[in-house]
Every structure is written in C-alpha cells, then in structure tokens.
C-alpha cells in the first residue's frame, strides 16, 4: 500500500476511534459492518469510467470493491 493510502487508512482509523472509543483491529467495512482481516484496495469514490469524475479515492475492502 502506498504512502497516500497508508495516510488515508490512518485517518479512517483515527476517525473510527473518535466515534467508537477504540481503533478498528483490521479494517472496519462500513458496507459489511465487519472488522476482520481482508485485502484492501484504493477505491474510487465515483467510478473513474465517468468522464469528468473526481479522482479522489478512499480505502475499501477489495472483495467489496470488485463485486
């Protein structure tokens, strides 16, 4: 995972900890409501196939992103 993705993951972990009172152990998936070991990837917030879409990304479970 590149440095940008690691910073995003750290920010997500801190945000989760601020809400729940502890950081997630692996990665808390807001779609599945699970914190378990999983391959992670950088996911586009708006699909890159849409012309003119933002290039912003977030961290996502690869199995959810590739579904």
- Tens-level pLDDT at each residue, the chain (67 residues): 789 889 999 999 999 999 999 999 999 999 999 999 999 998 877 666 777 767 777 899 999 988 7
Q: Are 12 and 19 in contact (CB under 8 A)?
A: no
pLDDT of residue 5: 87
Beta strands in 1-67 (DSSP E): 28-29, 34-35, 40-44, 57-61
pLDDT of residue 58: 85
Count of domains observed in the chain: 1
Which structural domain, as residue segments, surrounds residue 26?
Answer: 3-65
pLDDT of residue 29: 93
pLDDT of residue 45: 73
pLDDT of residue 32: 94
């Amino acid at each position: 995972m590149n440095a940008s993705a690691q910073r995003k993951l750290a920010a997500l972990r801190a945000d989760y900890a601020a809400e729940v009172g502890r950081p997630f152990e692996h990665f808390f998936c807001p779609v599945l409501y699970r914190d378990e070991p999983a391959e992670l990837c950088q996911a586009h917030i708006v699909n890159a196939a849409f012309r003119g879409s933002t290039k912003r990304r977030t961290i996502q479970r690869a199995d959810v992103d590739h579904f």
